[in-house]
Structure formats: C-alpha cells, structure tokens
Structure 1
Amino acid sequence: MAMGMAVGKRAEILLVSMAYIYLVLSVGASHKVGREEEEEAEADRITELPGQPKVSFQHYSGYVTVNQVAGRALFYWFTESVHHPDSKPLVIWLNGGPGCSSVAYGASEEIGPFRLNKTGSGLYLNKFSWNTVANLLFLETPAGVGFSYTNTSSDLFDTGDQRTAMDSLEFIIRWLDRFPRYKQREIYLTGESYAGHYVPQLAKEIMTYNSRTKQPINLKGIMVGNAVTDNYYDNLGTVAYWWSHAMISDSTYRQLLNKCDFHQEQESNECESVYSYAMDQEFGNIDQYNIYAPPCNNSDGVGATHRILHLPNRPHPIFRRISGYDPCTEKYAEIYYNRPDVQKALHANTTKIPYKWTACSESLNRNWNDTAVSILPIYKEMIAGGLRIWVYSGDVDSVVPVTATRLSLAQLKLTSKIPWYPWYVKKQVGGWTEVYEGLTFATVRGAGHEVPLFKPRAALQLFKSFLSGHPLPKS
C-alpha cells in the first residue's frame, strides 16, 4: 500500500513537472511568436515617402501571404489615426473594378491622408482624410491588382468573387496577427463600386469564420458607395437614370427596355448594338462617372487615362475617363507609384513584378470568371446578424447611379424608421437620407462615382455619422 502511494506521488510530481515545462515552453514560444510579429510590423513601418509632408501619425505598408502554395500575397497600406489611434476603430477600404487599386483610388484621391501632386513628384495633405477619425487599412485585392501578386500565373485568368472574399479574409486574420493590438478593435468594411460585391461578401465570410472560431473578428458594420448590388435592378435603374438625365433619347430608352433582357448573363446582339449606339452617338464626350464634370484630356501632356468598371450583363466592360476636381489624378498615381524610390519606401514590388504598376488591371477584369447575380441575399444575412449597414450614392454618377441602388434596395422591403429628409453639412444640403430597420441609405448631392473625391467634406460627415451610428444631421 505504502509503495503504491509512493509511486502515485512520483507520478503526480512527474505530471506537474511536465506541465510546468510545457507552460514554460509555450510561454517562450508565444513570446517568440510575439517578437516575430512585432518585428514584421516594425519592418513594414514607413519612415517617409518621397515628397511626403511631415505627419504626426504612423503608417505601414507591405505584403501578407494569403496562399503559401500558390504564392499569392496581398499588398496593404495602413495609416493610423491622427488622434488617439489606440482608441479608434479599424476601417478597411476596398476599391472595385474588379481589378482596381485601393492605393490608387481610396488612398490617393479619396479618403487617405495624402493627395498626389500633378507631376507625380510628391504628396500634400488631405484635410478631409478619414484617418482624422479612424485607422485606415487600404487593401489591394485580389492578387494581380496594384502591387498584390501571385506566383501562379493561372490565378490571373481564374479569379472572381469567391476567391477574392476568401483571400481577403485570410489577409485580415494574418494582418491582425501581425498587428495584435487591433485584434479586439471594432472593425468596419468600406468601399465603392464593384466593392459592392467585395464588402458584403467579405462580411459574410467573416460572419461564417466567427461562428466557428474562439477568436472572432470584431466586425461591427459595413458602408458601401455607388455599389454594384443586383444585376437586374442595377441595369434597369441605370437605363432609367440615362433617360431621366437626358443622356439618351426616348427612342433609345424604349429600345433598351424592349431588346435587353437584364435577367440574362449575356445580352443579345440587338441589345449590345443599342448600348453601343447610346454611348457612341448620344452620350457625347462626357465623363460617365460624373456627368457634369469635365473629362481628362491631353492638354497637360500626361495623356488621357481610362477607368475599368465591370458590370455583369453589360455587353462589355466600360472604359471611360476618370474625372473630379482634377480629372487626371489616376495618371499622377501611375507616375508616382512606378518610381523605384517610392516602391522602396512602401516596401512594394519586392519580387520585381514583370509589369508596370497600374491603377487598374485590364487583363484581370477581362478574365473575371465568378460574379454573383445579386448581393441582396447577403444583405438579409448581415441585417439578421446585427451589422450596421450604410449604403450611399453620389447622385451625378451614371455608371452605378442612385436610381439603380434605390431599385435594388427596395427589393429588401425594409420598414422605414426615419422617413426621407435632407441632411446638412456647413449649412448646405449635403444630400438626402432615409433610415430603415437594419439599413441607412443616403445620397450625396453633386457627387460622382467616387464620392469622397468630388465632395470630401460631405463624405467625411457621412463617415463620422456612420461610425457613431447616428442619423445624418438634419440641420
């Protein structure tokens, strides 16, 4: 009996000792991992970009590998909030296309802290930057967009909505490992145009991931602007916008409604010919992304530039010139981000991609193989999941116009909480809004496809109201 007790005691001591050793090794391993993550984050810190004005905030950029086997890595640029970054939410911004860069658009001409000089020689501060109230993470997705790359060339010819959502989720998980101080932070997803697919689809992947993990991502809401939402209603609403804004004739409007079946994946030759006639003969030399703004031309010597928009059920992707207060900003981005000293400062193009950095990838856009017919079912899931959802529309965009978005959202049949009213910024009507059960919709008066480019002050007010969860100001 005594011998049995002694053996049991020795076994107990051995188990305790093994547990202690395991704890020490685990702590040591976690400290090692923690140090490696800190070192990775520190290596991504941007000391100073060429031509950058002095700033008080930290910013980082670099790569996160999202698929080791294929060699897919996504590029990001992260700018901390100007004030109290430790208490501010993390806002992730995605541009659409598909195939367009969040660095070129979101970061450099919309909501980021810097604007580009005309010559591509440097930067100046954007006083309406969204990093005045939040930490901003710009993600170039999918691989093949901007500086993001893949070592498997077939990826560029076989991508679409689903892989983009999965890779973006993997990016967020690994990025949060690299910046663990943001793991418990409130996270919001934002974007525009074809990010009307990216953002809700990523939100859905996060909700699924959260349902089966012990370390959920603290996703609180989404906000999308001039967002591609539903094939049928987007196309119907776009044709209605063209007619109601006198861009097309009565005859062309009737022909589009009669000859085009917006339910079909591929339109008939008769439908395509009517589209082509409208664009070539009736639109005139306008910028479809802001029908009242002058298009970029060759007078400054930098050449005209083109934007890609992929809309399913259109006869072909629409290539049109970018516009804004300065309609040639896309070209300045392509000058600046192809500079070797800029790429070095950004820790970008480390694998020496065999092509120039471009604001949009035409080949990726042409080879987009997987696109959802409608995002409305995901809206229902997000509403049921309690996410804060805001949708906004610049009302002079004819590519994904306000009429398209209103027709699409009407299919959700939501109950109105606060009826339609004008909202204000600096004592002027900034637009109109309605608050529904589960969703807020707002227009931005006089803004084109890229709302923060055309109406930066109003866009910042919109963003502040979204983050606070309060309706837009009535006075």
Structure 2
Amino acid sequence: MKIAFLLSIHFSLLVFVHSYGGNGYDPLETVLSNQRSKRSKPHHVSNKVVTSENSYSPVYVGPQDGLKEMDKISSLPGQPAGTDFDQYSGYVTVDPNHGRALFYYLAESPINSSTNPLVLWLNGGPGCSSFGNGAMMELGPFRVNADNVTLSRNKYAWNNVANVLFLESPAGVGFSYSNTSSDYSTGDIQTAKDSYTFLVNWLERFPEYKTRDFYITGESYAGHYVPQLAQLILQNNKITNQTVINLKGIALGNAYVDDETENTGMFDYFWTHAIISDEIHEGIISNCNFSENGTVTETCAEYQSKATAARSNVYFYDIYAPLCSSSTNSTPSISEFDPCTENYIRSYLNTAAVQQSLHAKPVQWDSCNDIIGIFWKDMPFTVLPVIQDLMASGISVWIYSGDTDARVPVTTSRYSIDKLQTSVKTPWYPWMYEDEVGGYVVGYQNLTFVTIRGAGHFVPSYQPARALAFFASFLEGKLP
C-alpha cells in the first residue's frame, strides 16, 4: 500500500523533477545507499548473482503483425530537413497480465542499414531514460536546441555505423509503464527478464534483424543491466526453441560493476584530482572497509561526508565542465556540449506533438524516476563473475571509461579489471584520433579496456567524435 501510494504521488503529480546529469543529483547513490544499509543489517543474505543455474521457461510472445508499420515515425517535430534514415518508436508488451510495456526508439543507419549490426543501448540510474539521456543527449541522431523546439543533427551519432535501439527500462522509466503499481518496485533480475522478453518480441516485429549481429552497450548502472542481459541471452540461446539472438559483444561505459572498487576508485580519483585533501583521503583509507562484509563505521561515514562537502559544486559527472547557468556569461565549456541540454530535452519531450509523433502515451516525461531507485529490490554486490562468464563465452567484452568522470571514474574501472585477474596481451598505449591522443587502450585476454580522453560520465556527450571512433573499433573487433 505504501509503495502504491508513493507511486501514485510520483506519477500523477511529479513533484520532484530531476536531470540525470543535474549538478548534485546522483540517482546511483540513492540505490547504493539503500542496498548498503540492507547489507549492514544482521542476518542479511547477499543477493545472488544470476547464473546459468536458472531454468528457462518460455517468455511471452505477443502478436506483432502490422505493428512495425504503425511504429514508423513520419518525422519528429523540429527535425532538420534532409533527414535520411528511418526512425521507429513505440511500445512492446512484456507482461500482458500486468499491463507492463517498454518504450523503444530505433534509429536506423543512413547507409547500409540492411547490413549494419543492431546495437541495444541502455542507460542506468537505475531509473534513468535511455531515450532522453542516451538518444537525445548522447549518441542519438539529434540534439535538442536551446529553443526547446527544434533539433540539430548529431554528425557523430552512433547510427552512422549501426542500427541503434534505445530501450527505456525498467517499467516506470521515461515513457515505459505498467498498469500494476507494484511493478515499479523491481530489481536486477526482473529488469533482465523484461529486457529479454522485449527483445524476443521486438525481433518478431522487426524480423529482418533476427540474424543480424547484435551488440549491447550502456553506461553507469547498465554495468549491471548489460552483462546480466547478455548472460541471460546466451543461456536461453542454448535451450529455447524461440528466437536465438545473435549476440556478438558488449561494451560497458563508466560502468558500476563492483561495489568495493566503486568506493575505493571514486575516493582515490577525488584525491588524485585535487578534489579532497590528503587528510580526508587518509581518513577514508584508514577507517573504511568497502568489502562486501565490511562495516561502515561512524568514523568512515564522517570522512565520506567530508569528501562530499569538499567536492562542493564541482559537476560530478564531468569535473572540468561548467554548470548549467541562467547567466549569459557563464563559463564556456571545454567541449561543445551545452550543460543545459537536459532542460531542453525535458521541455521538448513533454510537448504534446512530440509525444504523439513518438507514439507515446501522453505523460509527464522525466529524465529519471527516483521511485525506481528507492524501491530497488535486488542487486548483487558485484557482477564481475557474470563478466568473467561472458569473457569465457567467446563474445567480445569491452570496458570503456571517460577520464573526467568522478561518479564511476577510470580508477574504479581499472581496479575492477584487476579483480578479473586476466593477463595483458597488448600493453597500454595511446590511441589516436585526428593526430591527437583519443585515449588509451589495453588489450587483455578476452577483454579490452579503452579510455576516452576528456570525456565525462556521458562519454558521447562530451567527446562525440572520439566516442564514435571508439565505437566503430568495438564493432570491428579491432583495438583503436
């Protein structure tokens, strides 16, 4: 009853409006704090990582005839003239009994769309939109202009080299919904199951993609979503008589995959980038045990609070970027990314004509849904065993990191890779883009690690050209 009441408040009134990249807003910390408090309670049983022990049961497959044609977007309001690729969006039902449906947006390639691979993109949060954040702010074909009405073409969009499918997941995120309020209290396991059911149904709607090479990419809390979904696909491919999904690889960006390395990596990054003092860093090192069975002492919590205070209003997701300001004389960005972009996206996606063109239900769209994170049910302490399983499966596994992100920083990614205990095949070297260092790369046994220089948490937002170059290398299976 309490959950339903809170959900009704959230969805009918939307009292709290948040931007994923808004300064001071941190949806990942919301869910991590809740999960850490659960683990600190006596007799807590750790969430088990989804493994191949799970038995398969056939997923729901609904009738898809004619739905592809209905989902085709004739044009988005304000899109630039000369748009030369097909777009689709709409809903795929994943649970007809609950009335649970997930919203997607597909941007096909302008060239070679019939042969280019299919790539699924997932944003994290948990509770944040892969369409509004992923497509409209990061790697999609359009960016919303400051007038909140017109769109500009993103010449570095990832659909230049792949057909890109953006999924708003789980239900309750963006335009995705359920008619059963209890569905908004979800977690890792159900999110993976729903995403898999979505894919099976979507491929019935778009059968031309059934045999196409398929990749899954995402960032932040998608460090859980992507490997868990990939593992489920590989398991079900072996035992199902339904659609076999031709999974070739995954790429995880600034990804939350292990709670211990998230903490140690973040505070070490703060210190090495002059965000916190030697004294605060030493206090954390001396008093905090971030392992799964570690206890957060009062002294540790005090030093973490000091670190947050010392960080002040540095933009957490890109420490060298300016903040969104109403002042016309705000500090120019070191990149071309407009820090107020999310405000433009929210206004645009809440326009009735835009929602109609997207075939979306008329709702108050928001970048992130706090309720999802607050009531998140299951989350393993680490998904590194899942990643090891995928490395052994033979698919391509890449981890990439924008090096100016403090939320899930490059140090965290490197510490996580250390835990995987895989050997180096190609030692660390700088990769180049237009005669400049685009970042650095290490080729490991069954794993590739790439940094993108000058990029924050939302890599394609801050360094779109370098991000596209990295992404093309990933699809080609070649080190950049």
TM-score (norm 2): 0.83
5 Å-filtered alignment, 1:442-457, equals 442-457=450-465
Q: For residues 37 and 153 of structure 1, what CA distance do their matches in structure 2 show?
A: 26
**Relative contact order (alpha carbons < 8 A, sep ≥ 6): 1 or 2 greater?**
2
Are residues 1:164 and 2:176 paired? no
1:337 to 349, 356, 371: 349
Kindly provide the amino acid, as one letter, of the partner of residue 402 in structure 1. V
Q: Which residue of 2 aligns with 1:16?
A: none
SS of the residue corresponding to residue 248 of structure 1 reads coil
How far apart, CA to CA, are the structure 2 residues paired with 1:363 and 1:413? 37
Map of 1:279 onto structure 2 = 308
Kindly state the Cα deviation for residue 256 of structure 1 after the two structures are TM-superposed: 1.5
Task: Quote how far apart the aligned CAs of 1:38 are.
Answer: 4.7
Select the structure of larger CA radius of gyration: 1
Q: In the alignment, which residue of structure 2 is the partner of 1:44?
A: 71
Any idea what the Cα deviations from partners look like across 1:340-399, whole Å, max 9, x if unmatched?
Answer: 1100000001xx44xx21001111122212112111101111011111011111011111
In structure 1, the partner of 2:20 is none
**CA distance in 2 between partners of 1:461 and 1:81 (Å):** 16
Output the amino acid matched with 1:327. Answer: P
Gaps of 5+ in 1: 1-32, 302-322
Q: 1:260 offset after TM fit, Å?
A: 2.4
Give unmatched runs, 5+ long, in structure 2: 1-60, 330-334
Cα shift readout 1:306-344 (whole Å, capped 9, x = no counterpart): xxxxxxxxxxxxxxxxx9721111111110111111000
- The question of whether the paired residues in 2 share the 8 Å contact of 1:74 and 1:149 is answered with yes
* Cα deviation, residue 264, structure 1: 4.7
Q: How does 1:92-107 map onto structure 2 within 5 Å? A: 92-107=120-135
Q: Is the 8 Å Cα contact of residues 420 and 434 (structure 1) preserved in structure 2?
A: yes
Matched, 1:365 2:377: no
Aligned to 2:469: 461
Deviation readout 1:114-159 (Å, 9 max, x if unpaired): 0101121121100001111110000000000000001111122x21
**Distance in 2 of aligned mates of 1:284 and 1:119:** 30
CA displacement, residues 401-421 of structure 1 (integer Å, 9 cap, x when unaligned): 000000011111112111110
Q: Distance in 2 between matches of 1:168 and 1:95?
A: 13
What corresponds to 1:77 in structure 2? 105
Q: Which residue of 2 aligns with 1:7?
A: none
Query: Could you tell me whether the CA contact under 8 Å between 1:389 and 1:440 is conserved in 2?
Result: yes
> Quick one: distance in 1 between partners of 2:449 and 2:416?
12
The Cα offsets for residues 262-285 of structure 1, whole Å up to 9 and x where unpaired, read as 1258734433332222212x1132
Which one of 391, 396, 399 corresponds to residue 383 of structure 1? 391
Matching of residues 345-364 of structure 1 within 5 Å: 345-349=357-361, 352-353=362-363, 356-364=364-372
Partners of 1:293 and 1:324 within 8 A in 2: no
Match of 1:183 among 204, 207, 210: 210
Deviation at 1:93, TM superposition (A): 0.2
Partner of 1:412: 420
Could you tell me which residue of structure 1 aligns to residue 89 of structure 2? Answer: 61
Instruction: Report if the CA contact (8 A) 2:292-2:381 is conserved.
Output: no
SS in 2 for 1:431: strand
Give distance in 2, aligned partners of 1:268 and 1:154.
34
How many Å separate the matches in 1 of 2:235 and 2:392? 13
Q: Which residue does 1:270 correspond to in 2?
A: 299
Pairs within 5 Å for 1:14-413 = 37-54=64-81, 55-156=83-184, 158-214=185-241, 215-264=243-292, 267-280=296-309, 282-299=310-327, 325-349=337-361, 352-353=362-363, 356-413=364-421
In percent, how many aligned pairs have the same letter?
Answer: 49
RMSD of Structure 2 on Structure 1 (CA): 1.8
Q: Give the number of aligned pairs.
A: 412
Q: CA deviation at 1:206?
A: 0.4
Letter in 1 for 2:344: Y
In 2, Cα distance between the equivalents of 1:164 and 1:462? 28
Distance 2:336 2:471 in 1: 20
Name which of 428, 436, 455 aligns with 2:436: 428
> Deviation at 1:205?
0.8
Deviation at residue 297 of structure 1 after TM alignment: 2.5
Q: Deviations over 1:85-111 (max 9, x none)?
A: 110000000000001001111101111
- The list of structure 1 runs, each at least 4 consecutive aligned residues, that deviate by more than 4 angstroms after superposition, is none
Distance 2:296 2:202 in 1: 41
Worse overlay, 250-259 or 162-171: 250-259
Shift in alpha-carbon separation, 1:426–1:324, aligned structure 2, 3 A: closer
SS across alignment from 1:371: coil
Shift in Å at residue 68 of structure 1? 1.2
